[in-house]
Chains A and B, each alone.
Chain A
């Protein structure tokens, strides 16, 4: 469950909000709005990369407003991917699970599922600089999905994919979330499909 209470956040020079919303566990929310409307800033305050102006954020019933990002246990895929340039694709994909001390056998099992689904098997030993834009984006997504988070925040994760790959990735994301009961907040300019809620954000409202 994600709950914002009187949530105000800063985007550029503006304080946006107040934002009172609730997402039930397992719901898939599609968030859209014009460029510069504060969507990315909202997501970054949620994951703890920026401080909110005021208000409270509750995840799984717990107030996490001032918790460090690692304690929020959110899977976040930023718009720009942000891969670790000196690591191989495989090392990027396993970074989070290794950090959380997941046993190696389990890491490898999850890795094989994700690499197959996102068509990354052939580039595991390559470095990010050797990947296409679409591959980089799928690595950024796969790196988070391997961690199997129960809350997933996606900031335009398929913009660099062609239409066929975009459909495949979205299909996989939907089944991944449904099977595991993951709560998803998905920012995208695409038309929403198979979602529970569609919110439009415009200057924080």
Chain B
């Protein structure tokens, strides 16, 4: 077999992978297009001008942003600790739990935890109250930020942090002044993914916060509430807003990391 025919015979693999990629992209685009085609800019505007939806949008953005910021403060040291302690097998499993847990179960476990001492004392201020939205989104944000930061820290040899210590830094200041900035791209990626997940979180919020209009309602629960009253066009319009928000955050990530 000559070189040319060998190259030709290997092309099938490129066509196969390309075929899979294009099929999946078509499916995703069709899903979004179906939603977008089911609504109009005026429907979106009319939904967004309703006070309860505006309140829901405000709470969604505020809670997602605060929860993501708080989550990064926790996720970075957690990821650093796990990355540097290779025997952290049990810790690994516990950290992965929120990923394998069905979202409803995540909310349910928080609800049950808040019925137990000493957390029971906090329940009146959290359960079915606004702070529950922040709590759920914080847990969701940490669980999505940790794996991304772990991957980022695993690529970092730790040599820069060591050099900072030789040059006079304490372990803590070397971490803050060198390791954190050296992992800037990982932090941006973790923040964006965590924020996008927070914006779309539904199940655990429904369980722990309920879906009280003008109180604990977030965009995902708005969609649910609109569906329960049979207003499909409002549900679709809100879904498009949700997709636009998530898409915008992902596009910002791509631009920042370019």
The interface of chain A, by Cβ under 8 A from chain B, is 47-49, 68-70, 74, 76, 78, 80, 82-87, 95-96, 99-100, 143-144, 147
Contact = CB atoms under 8 A, between A and B. Distances in A.
B163, B164, B170, B182 — which one has the most chain A CB atoms within 10 A of its CB? B163
A85 B165 CA distance: 16
A117 B160 CA distance: 25
Contacts, number: 55
B191 to A, nearest CB: 16
B167 A85 contact: no
Given A78-B159, A85-B182, A95 B166 contact: no
Contacts of A96: 167-168
A70 B165 contact: yes
B69 interface: no
A70 B168 contact: yes
A146 to B, nearest CB: 10
A99 B170 CA distance: 10
Interface of A (DSSP majority class)? loop
Given A84-B178, A84-B182, A86-B181, A78 B168 contact: no
A147 B184 CA distance: 27
B169 A76 contact: no
B162 A49 contact: yes
Contacts of B164: 84, 95, 99
A69 B166 contact: yes
Interface string B160-190: 1011111111110100001001101000000
B164, B167, B173 — which one has the most chain A CB atoms within 10 A of its CB? B167
B168, B181, B182 — which one has the most chain A CB atoms within 10 A of its CB? B168
Given A48-B165, A85-B160, 19 more contacts: A48-B166, A49-B165, A49-B166, A69-B166, A70-B165, A70-B169, A76-B163, A80-B159, A82-B163, A83-B160, A84-B160, A84-B163, A84-B181, A95-B167, A96-B168, A99-B167, A99-B168, A143-B167, A147-B167
